[in-house]
Amino acid sequence: MIAPMPDTGGAEVIFNMVNNGGSKYSAVVRERITIGRSFVVFDGREVLPMKSYKPMSVVTCNGVTHLVHGGYSTITEIWWSYRNGGDWVTDMKVPNQWSGAGPTLGCFDDTDAIMVHNVSGGTNLMWSIFGP
């Protein structure tokens, strides 16, 4: 996925790398890019200090870029990070929220990040609004 970097005016590609066993996502990697009218410049891969066994979601609301992903110590956990000063703030576990699949993000009133996810082991959808 492509994450905008409003603080630098650029963008970065964020993706999961599959672990050695090949069956689960693991390391979260970014590659900062510069996009021009007829070119794209890649600045090299960087492993971020987070892991995920599920797909991730990125959204920018009111100039702040948010990232959510599945847990790695317990598979139903949800973790959240946001960009601040050109980098991702330390990964934080979202309290009292669980998901059997990857959570997704959107913007509520173009200001707040809203997360939607299913209840672990069920089909009900839950949502929450949070931010820095």
Domains in the chain: boundaries: 2-130
How confident is the model over 5-52, as pLDDT tens digits?
A: 776 777 888 887 766 665 566 778 887 777 777 767 777 788 888 888
Burial of 85 (0-12, 13-18, 19+ CB in 10 A): exposed
Residues 6+ apart with CB under 8 A from 13: 1, 2, 3, 30, 31, 33
Tens digits of residue pLDDT in 65-80: 888 888 777 778 888 8
pLDDT over 70 percentage in the chain: 86
Residue 128 has pLDDT above 70, yes or no: yes
Please check the confidence at residue 123 and state whether its pLDDT lies above 60: yes
